[in-house]
Amino acid sequence: MHEITYREVITPDVFLLKIKAPVIARKRKAGQFVIYRLHEKSERIPLTLADADPDEGTITLLFQAVGKSTMELGTKKAGDQILDVVGPLGKPTHLENFGTVVCIGGGIGVAPLYPIVQAMKDAGNNVVTIIGARTKDLLILEDMVKAASSELHICTDDGSYCEKGFVTDRLKHLVEQGVKPDLCVAIGPVVMMRAVCNMTREFNIPTVVSLNPIMVDGTGMCGACRVTVGGKTKFACVDGPEFDGHQVDFDELIKRQAAYLAEEKTAREKWTCESGQ
């Protein structure tokens, strides 16, 4: 059992939870994730470790309520318990002083990006961060990311805040202005990561993406999380979740993520109806 020690509603469907998990808090590294199971009947759901406080013995999760399981987690308050939390899972981010690193986060992807921004900065990099969202109200973690980055650029699809446009527009602009990234890290919706990769391939910027296929065990046992990278099948939970974005088969990932759309709808409707949410 893991107690929720703190809860914050970031936007109407994005939540921040701090959860007691002292060993994970001590051991986790940037780029890693946990899998939680809320109660006996729950699914196992992967979420990135957005932050951790080893002294307090807590980990921070930031998630968007998109379906039954994450909506249910979103209703939990400080003092409530989560049945299982396992981690830290996945390979940590490869860190070194690359020079200039452009970190790009879209939507909820800003959450998993945040610990990487911090770690890249700590490794001595000049970290230029670009974050984007559909609209102002959906933008998350602005202050925290700003404090961790060397410089921060913000854009919204609808222009309701800062620059109007996509993160890729912003990246292009920066490169045209003479910024020479040695590495790009992009995390967000798959279509965004694909667009970033198409652009950085043109500019010859090595690019790392963090993939979020459907997972079950998270230990390399089931193969649910398989993705094609460079023509080879990889298991995102043990070989990733970070991969060379220029090698990833994004179309396959999109299709595999959509495998349970009908079931997810059933689950969501059943839950919304029963919980009165």
Ligand X SMILES: Cc1cc2nc3c(=O)[nH]c(=O)nc-3n(C[C@H](O)[C@H](O)[C@H](O)COP(=O)(O)OP(=O)(O)OC[C@H]3O[C@@H](n4cnc5c(N)ncnc54)[C@H](O)[C@@H]3O)c2cc1C
Residues that bind ligand FES in the complex, under the rule CB under 6 A: 215-218, 220-225, 235, 237
Map residue 226 onto helix, strand or coil.
Answer: strand
User: Which residues lie closer than 8 Å to 92 by C-beta, 6 or more apart?
Assistant: 29, 30, 31, 32
Beta strands 151-156; 126-133: pairing state: parallel
CA dist., res. 139 & res. 268, Å (int): 24
Size of the site for ligand X (CB under 6 A): 27
Burial of 242 (0-12, 13-18, 19+ CB in 10 A): buried
Whether the Cβ atoms of residue 162 and residue 154 lie closer than 8 Å to each other: yes
Interface stretch with ligand X, choices 67-75, 146-154, 167-175, 177-185 (CB under 6 A): 67-75
For ligand X, give the closer residue by CB, 142 or 264: 264
Closer by beta carbon to ligand X, 123 or else 267: 267
Rounded least distance, CB 235 to ligand FES, Å: 5
Position 83 contacts other proteins (CB under 8 A): yes
Stretch that binds other proteins, among 54-62, 130-138, 173-181, 254-262 (CB under 8 A): 254-262
Q: In what order do the strands lie in the sheet with 33-37?
A: 45-48, 33-37, 84-89
State the binding partner of 41 from ligand FES, other proteins, ligand X, none, CB within 5 to 8 A by kind: other proteins
Choose one: 54-62, 107-115, 189-197, 233-241; the region binding other proteins (CB under 8 A): 233-241
Other beta carbons within 10 angstroms of residue 245's beta carbon come to 25
Stretch that binds ligand X, among 16-24, 42-50, 51-59, 115-123 (CB under 6 A): 42-50
Least distance from ligand FES to the Cβ atom of residue 43, Å: 12
Q: Which does 47 bind (CB under 5 to 8 A by kind): ligand FES, ligand X, other proteins, none?
A: ligand X
Nearest CA-CA partner of 133 in 158, 168, 170: 158
Please state whether beta strands 33-37 and 126-133 pair in parallel, antiparallel, or not at all (unpaired): unpaired
**What distance in Å separates the CA atoms of residue 43 and residue 23, rounded to the nearest whole number?**
23
Rule CB under 8 A: is residue 66 a binding residue for other proteins?
no
- Contact residues: other proteins, CB under 8 A: 23-24, 27, 37, 41-44, 68-69, 83-89, 216-217, 219-224, 226-228, 233, 235, 238, 252, 255-256, 258-260, 263-264, 266-267, 270
